[in-house]
Amino acid sequence: MIDTKELKTRYDEIRRNIENRFMNVDLDAIIALQDERYNVLQATEALRARKNETASKMKAKLDTDTRNALIEEGKRIKTELAEKEARLAEIDQEFQDKARTIPNYASPKAPVGKEDKDSLAIKFVGEPKHFPFKAKDHVELGESLDILDFENGAKVSGQKFYYIKNKAVILQMALERYAMDIVMKHGFIPFITPDIAKEEILNGIGFNPRGAESNIYTIEGTGTCLVGTAEITLGGYYSNTIIDKKDLPIKMTGLSHCFRREAGGAGQYSKGLYRVHQFSKLEMFIYCTPEESEKFHEEILSIEEEIFSGLGLAYRIVDTATGDLGAPAYRKFDIEAWMPGRGDEGEYGEVTSTSNCTDYQARSLNIRYRDDDGKLRFVHMLNGTAVALSRAMVAIMENYQNEDGSISIPDALVPLCGFNRIEKQ
C-alpha cells in the first residue's frame, strides 16, 4: 500500500492517480475511516490512562467507601475500554482493507490511458517473420506433431488445461535451463518456490485472493491459495524482516508452476497455450534501495531482451498505460514477441513483463532496511518474467515452423535439446 500518512498531504495527486488508472476507489471514504480510527484510538488511549490512574490510586491506603468507588470506576472503565478496543480493531481492519485498494503512484513517464491500445511501443527489434506458405498457429502445429494435447487436457482437468508431449517436453526443459543460465549469469540466486502461499502474502503483494474478479485459485478452508506467479512467493520471502543494507540488492529467480483462473479469457487471441489455467514460469525478483530501483528495472528489461533476442525472435517493448499497470506497479514494460499464427497475418503477443513496484509491496509486507543514518526505510521491490514457458513455446513453434509442418529448434536451444527439429512421427 501507499504511505497512508500522505492521504491528506498528497490528496490531489492520489485522486488524480486513481482517475488515471480508471479505478473505482472512494478516497474520501477512506480518509473518513482514517479520521474515525484516529478518534477511536485517542479515546482508547484516554481510557487506558484512566485505567492506569485508577489502578495506581488503589495502591494507596484508602477508606472503604473510596476503595469501593474506585473498584466500581475500574469496572466501568474496563467495560468501556473493551468496547473501544473491539471497535478500534474493527475499524483498523476496515481501514487497512480499504487503504490497500489505493493503487501505487504511477511514474510520470507512464502513458496515461485505459486500455492496451493506450500503451506505447517504444522499441522494435528484429523483422516479423512472414512465410511463403500459410502459417499455422501453434495449436495446429502441436496437434499435427503430437506434442500438444488439449482435448485430453480438457477431459481430465477442464478447459484451458493441456498435455505437453514427446519432444515438446524436452523443448520446454531446454527453455527453462536456457533462461536460468542467463539469469544466473547476472547474479540471480535460483529458487524452486512453493506453489501455495498464505492469503496474507497475496494481499501484501497486491493480489486479490477473493471476489468475483479474482484471478486466484483459493484452497477452501486453509487460508491459502495456489500462486499465479513466483512473484508472490519470492516477494513474501523477506516479509516482516529488516534486511542489512550491505546485503542489498538481493536478486532472486524462482521457477514455479503458475495457476490462474483467467475468468473471461476467451477469443482467438486466448486460444491454445497463450492463456491457460496452469503453466510454468521463471521469475526474476529484486529487493533494493529506493535510489537504485529505476536502474534495476532497466536491468531486468535488458535481461528479458537478452533471452528473447537470443532465441532469434522479433519483438517490441511496450511502456504500459496507467490503466493497465496493476495496482502495485509504478511503471511496467512488456515484451511482445511476433507470433505468425496470431490473427490472419500474425501479430505481437505479450511474452514477458517487468514492474517496478517501489515500496508499495514492502509497506504491506513490512520489509525494511536500516539506512546509513540509522533510519528504517522500506525497500523497493521489482519483478520481471525471465520466461513464461507456455507463451515462449507459442512464439518458438510459430516462428520456427516449416512448410512441411515440422518445427526447427532455435540454435541457442539445440545443445540443450539434443535435436534440431521436431518432425511428424
Residue 336: closest CA among 347, 344, 327: 347
Q: What is the pLDDT along the chain (425 residues), one digit of tens a residue?
A: 999 999 999 999 999 999 999 999 999 999 999 999 999 999 999 999 988 888 888 788 888 888 888 888 889 999 999 999 999 999 999 999 999 999 999 999 999 998 888 999 999 999 999 999 999 999 999 999 999 999 999 999 999 999 999 999 999 999 999 999 999 999 999 999 999 999 999 999 999 887 666 789 999 999 999 999 999 999 999 999 999 999 999 999 999 999 999 865 556 677 899 999 999 999 999 999 999 999 999 999 999 999 999 999 999 999 999 999 999 999 999 999 999 999 888 999 999 999 999 999 999 999 999 998 889 999 999 999 999 999 999 999 999 999 999 999 999 999 999 999 999 88
Catalytic residue IDs: 260, 275, 350, 353, 391
The CA-CA-CA angle for residues 264, 96, 25, to 5°, reads 50
Q: Are the CB atoms for 407 and 421 separated by under 8 Å?
A: yes
- pLDDT of 246 reads 94
- pLDDT of 267 reads 62
- pLDDT of 303 reads 98
Write out pLDDT tens, residues 106-164.
999 999 998 888 999 999 999 999 999 999 999 999 999 999 999 999 999 999 999 99
Q: Look up residue 87 and give its three cell numbers.
A: 471497535
